Structure 1
Amino acid sequence: MLIRNKLMLRFTLLVLGIQLGFSVFIYYFNANTRFQRFAHRLETSATLAGRLLVRSHKLEVGTMGSLRRGDLLTLSGEQISIYGPDNALRYSSADNIDQAVNRARLAGLQPGQRISYPAVGQRETVGMAFEHEHEGQRSVYRIFVSAEDRVGWAWLQQVRLLLALGNVGALGLTILAGWYFAGAALRPVARISRQASRISATSLGRRLSEGNGRDELAQLAHVFNTMLAGLEQAFDAQKSFLAHASHELRTPLTTLTGTLETALAYDASLPEARQSLAQALEASRHLTALTSSLLSLAKVDGALPEFEPVRLDECLNQALSFARAKYAGREFRLAFGELPAEAETDVFMVPGNAELLTTALLNLLDNAGKYSAGPVQAELAYEGPTTLRVRIADVGPGLTPEELSRIYEPLYRAAGAVGRPGYGLGLPLTQRIVQRHGGRLELSSVPGQGTTATVWLPAA
């Protein structure tokens, strides 16, 4: 079901429920008012009959005098029955009254009581115990008056009809109003849907209209635009990565193919063939190393094995050992900074993957050893109660602000890296490893003074 139809249905059901509840209240109020008003009229008729017949002693002498049986009747279909203290019928306004019902009610009607009995059809009955004192003797007469409230029931019938017609009319108006307001509320969604349908992989630069910029739909459009900006950036990075990767892979492949073709066509002696094979082997190694780096970068972007507690100091020591072996003439120093006041045995534990963390630290040490003109300083310390910090500083040529802004692009190499081994994949790989471990990598550099790489990781 469309959202528009759902909104209209829910709105209609809500308003219909309110209408029906209000209609029931109105009808109940009117019905109760009619009942109370008519019961009061019956009680008034019973009181009048008691005063005219009982107090005038007409029932005691057994003569009505100038009164006739029908003179007291003022209501539609009214019937009056009066029973004396001995429960004998003293007066009835008609001979066809069912006195068996009235006699059954005598015992329950106590002195001073006025009782409204359940209606039979449209006939309603009121019983009254009328007290009369004569010559010092108190007597109780029981008077039963019944009648039909034809005017009241006709009025209730009109109320029911008006409420039914009003509810039907209001239901139609509610459906139309729900349809209109649901359409008006969803019109911005339809606009966003049309705009989003025009966006494809070749037009990620388009953005959705954010309307007034304040309501929920504007916030939704803003979220979409933020996502599109991220996708556009990711697609641009992918295009750049593919362009650089194809260029970097083409160079060793071309060298390898050219060397083998030249050797096949021109090498006539074993020394010449060996020289060609050595060149081909060097190109093959270069190609293998570049391919491994690209695969490592793709692997970090995929699913990682489940993290477990890892000692960051051991990862750093292992990376330092690899770096010292690779750069035998370079001095690598390790220092420990501020530690927690209550240091435990495994104070440098972090949740993660030891192999990936060692690779990330080794990449930073490798860059420092490759470009530094002096010793490389590594420091391991706490920065706050729950954050570990690794800082690696060198005294190399440094980087310009423009180079720092592009240093994390895969296969990008700064001007100072020309002629030095590497493929421009170490820092992008390190950044993604650190991010996958919930940490942050930051490089600061001053041209001519060196570069400092800082890694923050959450402690276990």
Structure 2
Amino acid sequence: MQIKTRITILFTAITVTILLVFALVIYTSAKESRENEFYNLLTKEAYTKANIFLNAHVDKKTLQEIYHNNRNILNEVEVAIYDTDFNLVYHDAVDIDIVKETPEMLQNIQSKKEINFYQGQWQVVGIVYHYKNKEYLITSAAYDLYGYNKLNDLLRTIIIVFFTSLFIIYIAGTVFSSKILMPIKKMMEKVTTISATNLDLRLVSYNTKDELSQLANTFNEMLDRLENSFDSQKHFVSNISHELRTPLSAMIAELELSTNKERDIQEYKTVIHNVMADAKKLVRLSNSLLDLAKANYDRSEIGFKPIRIDEVLLDARKQTLQANSDYKIDIHFENDFEDDHQISVNGNEYLLNVAFINIFENGCKFSNDKQSIVSILFDAEKIILKFSDKGIGIAENDLENIFTPFYRGENKTFADGNGIGLSLTQKIINLHEGNISVQSSLNQGTTFIIELPHL
């Protein structure tokens, strides 16, 4: 069932239920009001006829003729008067006698002073009337034709209004639900036109601050993220293709040249040496890509545990020096620590190791003295690592792009690289809820500052 239909049915059901309750209250109130008013009328008629008969001493026969004459054109009230011994004193129409008083009924009137009840569809009032220190028991009965006709007219009107309202409410609910869901329908039509080739399209947001506007804004934000992700992937694939093509082309060219003619052993060794260098570049690139993929994982999918930063730094220093024997790396503590918590973070040892190796290698390979120095500081909230070198520095116009994947600055002619290392390092630090920044001046050196929260 469509939401539009459900809303229409729910709206109609709720409104009709309220209308039905309202109609029942009105009808019940009208019914009770008619009954009470007619009982009051019967009581007045009983007192009036008792006064006429007992006080005014109007002839019994005259009163009975009046009753019979009026009864032909009106629903005349039938009155009967009894004494306390239950003897009939007066009756409008003994031949008709709607009430058919019994000693038990008269005794009940005498004891309760006033009673109301139904005799068939006729309403009956029984009262005690005092006259000259004597008590009389009076019954007054009649059929409220006028009141019942009004009540039936009211019931017919309620039924007609109810079903008419039911139809109108259903139509109004259909129009109402269509109007309410129109923005969603337009969103659906717009969404069906969005694909990977036109992620720049956006849903219309009317800035009404309602849920539909918030939904459109949320969806547009998701499209922004998807568009950025697709653009990043396209850029990533383009750069990867370029980075892979260069060493592969060089390897193929070297091998083709070596097979064109017979060469001596030294020339073959040179070719093998060049091919191995290109192969190592491919290995480094593939390793960097694998690490970059790991750094892009959701934090909840990576194993974190308490680790000491100094131990990770020493391990990263060891691996860097094993791969590059001419590098020099020094680690200094700027202040003393009293317990392990001051020098520990909640992190992934492998990823932090990769990040520190990247910074060590960058500091050493872009320095004439091949040296990188890291200083360790800490305060009550975070650990601060400063990786410094006295290398060629970074141009000012390159500083804002150094963390962009595959970006190579003006210093790319000084040393080989693929532009992944610093981007990977930033992702790893962000994954650990830390922050990385850089300070650099040309020909004076560079300092990378990493801040990581304590345990």
Query: Alpha-carbon deviation of 1:150?
Result: 0.9
Pick which of 72-81 and 279-288 moved more: 72-81
Matched, 1:226 2:221: yes
Runs of 4+ in 1 over 6 A off after TM superposition: 72-75
Root mean square deviation of aligned Cα? 3.3
Matched, 1:319 2:316: yes
Q: Number of residue pairs matched?
A: 446
Which residue of 302, 307, 311 corresponds with 2:304?
A: 307
Partner of 1:122: 121
Partner of 1:171: 166
Question: Cα 1:300–1:84, aligned 2, differ >3 Å: closer, same or farther?
Answer: same
Question: Cα 1:391–1:33, aligned 2, differ >3 Å: closer, same or farther?
Answer: farther
Question: Cα 1:98–1:344, aligned 2, differ >3 Å: closer, same or farther?
Answer: farther
Partner of 2:18: 18
Partner of 2:251: 256
After superposition, what is the alpha-carbon deviation per residue over 1:149-186, rounded to whole angstroms, capped at 9, x for unaligned? 11111111111111222222222222222222322222
**Maintained 8 Å contact 1:267/1:273:** no
- Distance in 2, matches of 1:361 and 1:206, equals 41
**Maintained 8 Å contact 2:64/2:93:** no
For residue 346 of structure 2, give the secondary structure of its aligned residue in structure 1: strand
**Maintained 8 Å contact 2:363/2:372:** no
**Maintained 8 Å contact 1:443/1:451:** yes
Partner of 1:201: 196
Query: Residue 379 of structure 1 aligns to which amino acid in structure 2?
Result: I
Q: How does 1:43-58 map to 2 (within 5 A)?
A: 43-53=43-53
Query: What TM-score does the superposition give when structure 1 sets the normalisation length?
Result: 0.84
For residue 94 of structure 1, give the secondary structure of its aligned residue in structure 2: coil
For residue 97 of structure 1, give the secondary structure of its aligned residue in structure 2: coil
Question: Cα 1:54–1:430, aligned 2, differ >3 Å: closer, same or farther?
Answer: farther
**Maintained 8 Å contact 2:360/2:372:** no
Which residue of 329, 332, 350 corresponds with 2:330?
A: 332
Partner of 1:377: 374
For residue 387 of structure 2, give the secondary structure of its aligned residue in structure 1: strand
Query: Residue 122 of structure 1 aligns to which amino acid in structure 2?
Result: Q
- Distance in 2, matches of 1:323 and 1:64, equals 133
For residue 68 of structure 1, give the secondary structure of its aligned residue in structure 2: helix
- Distance in 2, matches of 1:236 and 1:277, equals 38
Query: Residue 79 of structure 1 aligns to which amino acid in structure 2?
Result: E
- Distance in 2, matches of 1:21 and 1:45, equals 36
Query: Alpha-carbon deviation of 1:66?
Result: 4.9
**Maintained 8 Å contact 1:77/1:147:** yes
Which residue of 421, 424, 433 corresponds with 1:429?
A: 424
Query: Alpha-carbon deviation of 1:344?
Result: 5.5
**Maintained 8 Å contact 1:102/1:144:** no
For residue 423 of structure 1, give the secondary structure of its aligned residue in structure 2: coil
Question: Cα 1:152–1:191, aligned 2, differ >3 Å: closer, same or farther?
Answer: same
Listed as ranges, the gaps of 5+ residues in structure 1 are: none
For residue 342 of structure 2, give the secondary structure of its aligned residue in structure 1: coil
Query: Alpha-carbon deviation of 1:90?
Result: 3.8
Q: How does 1:272-421 map to 2 (within 5 A)?
A: 272-302=267-297, 304-323=301-320, 326=324, 329-336=327-334, 345-372=340-367, 376-382=373-379, 385=381, 387-421=382-416
Question: Cα 1:55–1:234, aligned 2, differ >3 Å: closer, same or farther?
Answer: same
Query: Alpha-carbon deviation of 1:128?
Result: 1.7
Query: Residue 145 of structure 2 aligns to which amino acid in structure 1?
Result: R
- Distance in 2, matches of 1:57 and 1:112, equals 28
Query: Alpha-carbon deviation of 1:25?
Result: 2.4
- Distance in 1, matches of 2:24 and 2:268, equals 105
Query: Residue 30 of structure 1 aligns to which amino acid in structure 2?
Result: A
Query: Alpha-carbon deviation of 1:245?
Result: 0.6
Question: Cα 1:329–1:426, aligned 2, differ >3 Å: closer, same or farther?
Answer: closer
Which residue of 263, 266, 288 corresponds with 2:261?
A: 266
Identity of aligned residues (%): 29
- Distance in 2, matches of 1:361 and 1:235, equals 29
Query: What TM-score does the superposition give when structure 2 sets the normalisation length?
Result: 0.85
Query: Alpha-carbon deviation of 1:252?
Result: 1.6
For residue 347 of structure 1, give the secondary structure of its aligned residue in structure 2: helix
- Distance in 2, matches of 1:269 and 1:356, equals 46
**Maintained 8 Å contact 1:398/1:448:** yes
Pick which of 155-164 and 363-372 moved more: 363-372
- Distance in 1, matches of 2:235 and 2:220, equals 22
Question: Cα 1:329–1:455, aligned 2, differ >3 Å: closer, same or farther?
Answer: closer
Query: Alpha-carbon deviation of 1:116?
Result: 2.5
Query: Alpha-carbon deviation of 1:406?
Result: 2.6
For residue 413 of structure 1, give the secondary structure of its aligned residue in structure 2: coil
Query: Residue 37 of structure 2 aligns to which amino acid in structure 1?
Result: R
Question: Cα 1:324–1:82, aligned 2, differ >3 Å: closer, same or farther?
Answer: farther
Pick which of 395-404 and 146-155 moved more: 395-404
Partner of 1:4: 4
